[in-house]
Structures are given as C-alpha cells and as structure tokens.
Amino acid sequence: MNTAPIIKHFSNYSPLSDSEISELKSKLIEKKVKRRQFILQEGDVCKHYTFVVSGCFKMYKVDDKGQEHNLQFAIENGWIADIGSFHTDKPSELYIEALEQSIVLQISKPDLIYLYSHYPKFDRNFRVLIENAFISLQKRVLQNISSTAEERYLYFLKSYPNLFNRISNVQIASYIGVTPEFLSKIRKSIATK
C-alpha cells in the first residue's frame, strides 16, 4: 500500500509523528478504481473520506431531467467525499465516479473519529482541510452570482491548471453551469480575441 503521498500531504499542514503515522496507516484502505466506476451512488450513505493517490474523480448530481451537474473534481493529493451524507448518515444525492483509472486511500467514519479523539493533530488537520474547502466553495458561490459564463470559464482554467487539459470540455461545462454548446462558443470567442 502506497501511503507516502498521504503522509506527505498531511506534513504540508502539520507534520505527523511516528505513532500518528502508524495509526493512520492502520486505518487506511487502499482501492483500485476503474474508469467509470463509482465510489458513491445516489441513495447510498457516504461511508468514507477518499484521498486520491493517482487518477481523477468527479462528484455530481443528476437532476430531474437526467442531466449531470459537477460539484467537484479531485486529482492526485486531493480529497473527495459527500461530507453532508458522511456526517449525517443520510443517503447521498450525489455520485462520485472515476474519470480515469485511479488508486485511492479511504478512511471510514469510526476510524476517523478514533483518530480525532486520540490524536488532536488529525482534528486540527481535518479542520484546516474543511476550512480550505469552505473558502474555495465560497469563492465559487460569489462567482456564480456575480460573473458571466466566460469569466467563470477563465477562472476555472486559472484555478485548475493541472486539470483542464485532462478532462473533457463537457465536464468543464457541467462544472461552470453552461451547456457544452455554449462553452464551445465561449472558447471560440476567446480564441479570436
């Protein structure tokens, strides 16, 4: 099990001691996930926080008309989970699906709570994690209520320079909240500027 990436990831926040590392390792579950495979489906309770070692995922909602709306992507060294479902134990409305062949490390809620209560550092690290997620989500809300689709597209390119050339424009369109046809128009208009 390749745990080096997640240990390095935590060391960016506040480095882990040897005992914290060995406890963390004992709680992690490694999973190989094929392209198009789901690690969460609508109706299921989200039972794990998922750390991406390699590969790429999207989390999205399917609306009444059957259309997908991307809420989040995750690539190497990123986390993905339906935090709402995870913490409330209620069925999720979301799907998490691999866009590429991927390897992940998962941690269950009881194991996370165990780490929280025995090692305050995990408490702190996960709070910082969610604070950061909150901050970037807040920026996105502001963008959505105040910017044009073109501005949102440019902001996406700027914010995720390692992602945009790895996923299809269909996925980007679904993330910024426009149709693929309109994104195509935007891209043309940007190119001819």
Which positions touch a copy of itself (CB under 8 A)?
A: 61, 63, 67, 69-71, 83-84, 87, 116-117, 120, 123-124, 126-128, 130-131, 133-135, 137-142, 144-146, 174-177
Residue from 8, 35, 124, 139 that binds DNA (CB under 7 A)?
35
32 binds DNA (CB under 7 A): no
Shortest Cβ 101–a copy of itself spacing (Å): 27
Stretch that binds DNA, among 10-18, 86-94, 115-123, 145-153 (CB under 7 A): 145-153
Shortest Cβ 116–a copy of itself spacing (Å): 8
Closer residue to a copy of itself in complex, CB, 54/143: 143
178 binds DNA (CB under 7 A): yes
Three-state secondary structure call for residue 125: helix
Which one of a copy of itself, DNA, none is in contact with 168 (Cβ closer than 5 to 8 A by kind)?
DNA
Residue 80 pairs with which residues in a beta bridge? 50
Closer residue to DNA in complex, CB, 17/179: 179
Q: For CA atoms 5, 32, 98, 41, give the dihedral sign.
A: negative
Q: Which residues contact 155 (CB under 8 A, 6 or more apart)?
A: 143, 147
Place of tokens 């500027």: 193
- Written as one letter, the residue type at 136 is S
Closer residue to a copy of itself in complex, CB, 116/164: 116
User: Distance between CA 145 and CA 53 in Å, rounded?
Assistant: 34
Residue from 148, 157, 166, 190 that binds DNA (CB under 7 A)?
148
Where on the phi/psi map is residue 18: left (φ > 0), alpha (ψ -120 to 50), or beta?
Answer: alpha
Q: Is 103 exposed, middle or buried (0-12, 13-18, 19+ CB in 10 A)?
A: middle
